A and B are shown apart, each in its own frame.
Chain A
Amino acid sequence: MKQAASEYGEFYQRDTSVQPPAYTPGYKTSVLRSPRNALISLQNSLSEITGPVFSKSELGPLDNDLIMNYAKDGLPIGERIIVHGYVLDENARPVRNALVEVWQANAGGRYRHKKDQYIAPIDPNFGGCGRMLTDANGYYVYRTIKPGPYPWRNRVNEWRPAHIHYSISGTGFAQRLVTQMYFEGDPLIASCPIVRTISDEEAIRRLVAPLDRNAFVQFDSRAYRFDVVLRGRRATPFEDYIQGAKQ
């Protein structure tokens, strides 16, 4: 049982140097949506080291195929790509059974969302979302259409680099993470105020997925590789501090 105990130790304190602060005036919306008080630091209890567990039975067979999961009377328009990688923790261990959810604009840069008014057309065969669970190695893979860049309201003429949104739910609620994946070579990345909320250049580089030629599918798709790292856990047994725990 000791093995199981250490598998679910407390999380390492978050390394805030690689994370964006809450208040980042270059990204204007953050100004009124950022707490002004310091966060209260909490030693992990059961409330933080535990988290929801998801099962395959909750997902459908096409949930990780964005090319097919909303295709009505044809295929979506755009560049066919595969995106794949590993969800690991800070100890470089695979995070198994992590729920990975992705969402994105279509090839023209338009989201299928009632609040998106951009002039680019909706693609009748593209929904723009998918989800999957990582396997025993922490591996995930999905197929999609490369999203287009699009304009947004910040400064007058602001364009987001092409990106795919990620939401990852690991093995504990304190690991919960949302982020965005960018594409190697996109010239809009460097000047994006949302990317620039992060000051650590290496941390930004890790959000940019390189083209992965070894995973190309002949006459079908190119591929991008994107690994995600969630917070790691301490090896120290935690149960010692909990009265009434079953040994």
Chain B
Amino acid sequence: MIDPAPTLKETASQTAGPYVHIGLAPKQAGFEIFEKNFSNVLVGPRTKGERIRIEGRVIDGSGTPLRDVLLEIWQANAAGRYNHPADRQAKPIDPTFRGWGRACSDFETGVYAFDTIKPGSVMGRRGRPMAPHINFWLVARGINLGLATRMYFSDETAANAKDPVLNLIEWEVRRKTLIAQREERRGKIVYRFDIRIQGPDETVFFDV
């Protein structure tokens, strides 16, 4: 089949600006308007999988955390399947798990957090499995086009070593910017994932 030539141009992106919370997280902006709100909690009581918290900051080129960033994550369920019709892997869907969440950094500390489960491995291109990972997208004042990256897990050393996407990154030293560090805090599992937009340890961002 021949691909049709694209006939329209993608709409140009513009920054989400400093007041992104009004539209995408009005509670954080300081008011109640919608009955149901999107949130940074992806799990319900019956969701299958290991409960984890992801926590971190997004840091600019001066080393200062962004206090006005908005992040979204998209991930597979514990079995490694996305809750989307294009994913037809022979694995179960978890009806309690959409796999999407939205968080804002704290206005004082710049810390963001998600409560979710650790995803399973998803099949990659040409039958090469991808290590468990979570897709990130972030926007803020000063960011002209949303930044896309991935978070991998520090306790998945063997799978990470074979991951086709991590291996695409020519500079091995940069791969570690995508690996979140597992910690145990009062019996809870926390993965620490700081995103550096600029600087010596600049996070790898993808043109997806």
Query: Interface residues, chain A, CB within 8 Å of chain B?
Result: 4, 6-8, 11-12, 14-15, 18-22, 24, 27, 29-37, 39-53, 58-60, 63, 69-70, 88-92, 101-103, 111-116, 127-129, 131, 165, 167, 172-174, 176-180, 194-195, 197-198, 200, 202-204, 206-207, 228-232, 234-236, 238-239, 241-246
| Alpha-carbon separation in the docked complex, A229 to B164 (Å) | 31
| Alpha-carbon separation in the docked complex, A34 to B83 (Å) | 32
* Complex contact B142–A177 (CB within 8 A): no
Q: A69 is contacted by which of B16, B33, B88, B98 (Cβ under 8 Å)?
A: B33
Question: What's the dominant secondary structure at chain A's contact region?
Answer: loop
User: How many residues of B are counted as interface, with CB atoms below 8 angstroms from the partner's CB atoms?
Assistant: 89
9 tightest Cβ-Cβ pairs between the two chains A and B: A103-B23, A29-B142, A8-B86, A52-B100, A33-B142, A50-B84, A243-B127, A39-B207, A90-B6
Specify the chain A residue showing the minimal Cβ separation from B100: A52
Query: Interface residues, chain B, CB within 8 Å of chain A?
Result: 1-4, 6-24, 26, 29-31, 33-36, 38, 60-62, 64, 66, 68, 72, 74, 76, 82-90, 98-100, 107, 122-127, 130, 133, 135, 137, 139-148, 150, 164-165, 168-169, 174, 197-198, 202-208
Beyond A111-B22, A165-B14, A229-B11: 18 further Cβ-contacts under 8 Å?
Answer: A22-B145, A30-B142, A32-B60, A33-B140, A39-B205, A42-B206, A46-B122, A103-B24, A112-B29, A112-B30, A173-B135, A206-B12, A229-B9, A229-B10, A235-B3, A244-B89, A246-B88, A246-B89
Subset of 24 A-B contacts with CB under 8 Å = A15-B9, A18-B12, A20-B12, A20-B14, A20-B144, A20-B145, A21-B144, A33-B140, A37-B202, A37-B205, A42-B208, A46-B86, A52-B98, A52-B100, A102-B23, A115-B68, A127-B22, A176-B72, A177-B13, A178-B14, A180-B15, A206-B12, A228-B11, A236-B1
Contacts A90-B10, A112-B29 given; indicate if A165 touches B137 (C-beta within 8 A): no
Residues of A within 8 A of B99 (CB): 52
Q: A103 is contacted by which of B2, B22, B90, B98 (Cβ under 8 Å)?
A: B22
Specify the chain B residue showing the minimal Cβ separation from A163: B14
Specify the chain A residue showing the minimal Cβ separation from B1: A235
> How many Å from the CB of B98 to the closest CB on chain A?
6
